[in-house]
């Protein structure tokens, strides 16, 4: 059994801070769960475009409000606590937090954590990210 | 992109109520994400023994306090918001909520949802559950 505490993860190298967001990785690939599990905060006023071509991701909003735009359909969904979105079709999307938004995120396959050390996209997983996100994933 | 709202899930047949807990299944096997994603509430005062022999599960506490006892080691961990536990070794365990505990849970492989319709263990997934939980999983 693995037991971890969010405040400790946030102070460790499992907490990744990037442009418009930060993410505390509770579980990574090496934990052997078959998925990774993150608590990610999206900052108020940011406009975060993402396109995970090799990952599926589910996001549950815990706090805060904003919108998500599905760039494939043009549809905009309101984000608020209790709203879950799942990128089941590698959906290209933009999140626009009105306030800071705190989320619980699941990635399949799991994020390795190494992505955070190379913002130039040198790791294979970098191909998963939209150019502006380089090798980082929330 | 799948978008679902917790209040609506809680009013649907994706919300399962059992002895000591209830669970809103935001994502199930049929959603094709490779994991299932639940918001599960464990009731204050319950003593919930679980043993998923065929699943891995991660649980993030969102609200409430209590304890989890690892029956393999005898170790007791305090549960509070921000604590995550992962059953990476099919750990046999007991959760004892002091208050109602609300959690975000991830199962790999995903729960099908059919488990909830057969408390006698007739579905193959029933083998995953401890006898007292029959064919139900939080």
What was the pLDDT predicted at B24?
96
E strand spans, B1-138: 2-5, 15-18, 21-27, 36-42, 48-50, 56-63, 66-70, 76-79, 83-87, 93-97, 101-108
Nearest CA in chain B to A24: B82
Of B3, B6, B34, the CB nearest to A56: B34
Sign, Cα dihedral of B55, B71, A25, A97: positive
Q: What is the mean pLDDT of chain B?
A: 86
Residues B63-113 have pLDDT tens digits of 999 999 999 999 999 999 999 999 999 999 999 999 999 999 999 999 988
What was the pLDDT predicted at A115?
65
With beta carbons under 8 A apart, name residues in chain B contacting A72. Answer: 1
Are A1 and B70 within 8 A, CB to CB?
A: yes
Quote the tokens at residue A68. 């998500």
Nearest CA in chain A to B34: A108
Residues A7-66 have pLDDT tens digits of 999 999 999 998 899 999 999 999 999 999 999 999 999 999 988 888 999 999 999 999
Quote the tokens at residue B110. 């995903």
Are A7 and B82 within 8 A, CB to CB?
A: yes
| Cα of A126 vs its chain's centroid, Å | 14
Residues A85-110 have pLDDT tens digits of 999 999 999 999 999 999 999 999 99
The whole-angstrom separation of Cα B23 and Cα B137 is 8
What is the three-class DSSP state of B31? helix
Nearest CA in chain A to B73: A1
Percent of chain A exceeding pLDDT 70 equals 82
Judge if pTM exceeds 0.90.
no
């Amino acid at each position: 059994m693995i037991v971890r505490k969010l405040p400790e993860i946030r102070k460790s190298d499992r907490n990744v801070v990037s442009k418009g967001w930060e993410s505390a990785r509770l579980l990574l690939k090496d934990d052997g769960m078959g998925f990774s599990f993150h608590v990610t905060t999206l900052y108020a006023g940011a406009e975060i475009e993402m396109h995970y071509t090799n990952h599926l991701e589910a996001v549950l909003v815990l706090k805060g409000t904003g919108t998500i735009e599905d760039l494939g359909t043009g549809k905009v969904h309101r984000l608020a606590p209790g709203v879950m979105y799942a990128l089941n079709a590698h959906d290209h999307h933009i999140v626009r937090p009105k306030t800071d938004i705190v989320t619980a995120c699941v990635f399949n396959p799991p994020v390795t954590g190494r992505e955070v050390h190379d913002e130039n996209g040198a790791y294979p997983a970098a191909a998963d990210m939209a150019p502006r996100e380089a090798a980082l994933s929330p």
